[in-house]
Amino acid sequence: MRVLAALLATFALAGCGLQPMYAGGGSAAVAQGLAGVEVSAIEGRAGWLVRNALVDELGVSGARGVSPRYRLDVRLDDSLESFALLSDDTVGRERRTLRARYQLVDIGSGAIVLDQTAGSDAGIDVVSSDYATIAAEQTALENMAKDVAGRIVTNVALRLRGDTNQ
């Protein structure tokens, strides 16, 4: 009975229209499309972190012999805002915001294939130790860079999957 139920569930999932984005592993159309994306340089420390995370997620470093078809241009806005004043007029909390506007450009034609934004926020407790606060700010930036890069790669993959299905 359990085998029959599992078999029916398998057929039900197969008929729902969902398809794995990376079906076929590294040889899948989406994976090959992502490997063909070169990432332009991005200004600043946050830019360096985001670019490295993008290169890691896109699989560009392992794609030998794949000539880039697309260029990913990213502009960042990194801000740190203090709020939550304590009774002694010191800051008790900070909010770090990282926003990215990115464009996927077809290198051959120069056409903009994708133009979107992605962002991430983090709350930081300000403590009596300046070192601990600076370390928390840097850790927040590193985590947000990975998050923003992940969001960008997901949207690029969805766009490339749409290109391969049309």
* Model pTM score: 0.77
- CATH code, domain carrying 60: 3.30.160.150
Residue 149 within a domain: yes
The token pair at 104 is: 């996927």
| Number of domains into which the chain is organized | 1
Domain residue limits at 153: 25-165
| pLDDT tens, position by position, 100-131 | 999 999 999 999 999 999 999 999 988 889 89
Calculate the alpha carbon distances from 36 to 12, 19, 25, 30, 144 in Å: 35, 22, 15, 10, 25
Residue 53 within a domain: yes
Q: Is the pLDDT of residue 164 over 50?
A: no
- Residue 15 has what DSSP assignment? T
- Residue type, position 66, single letter: V
Between β-strands 70-85 and 91-106, what pairing exists: parallel, antiparallel or unpaired? antiparallel
What is the rounded CA–CA span in Å between residue 7 and residue 105? 44
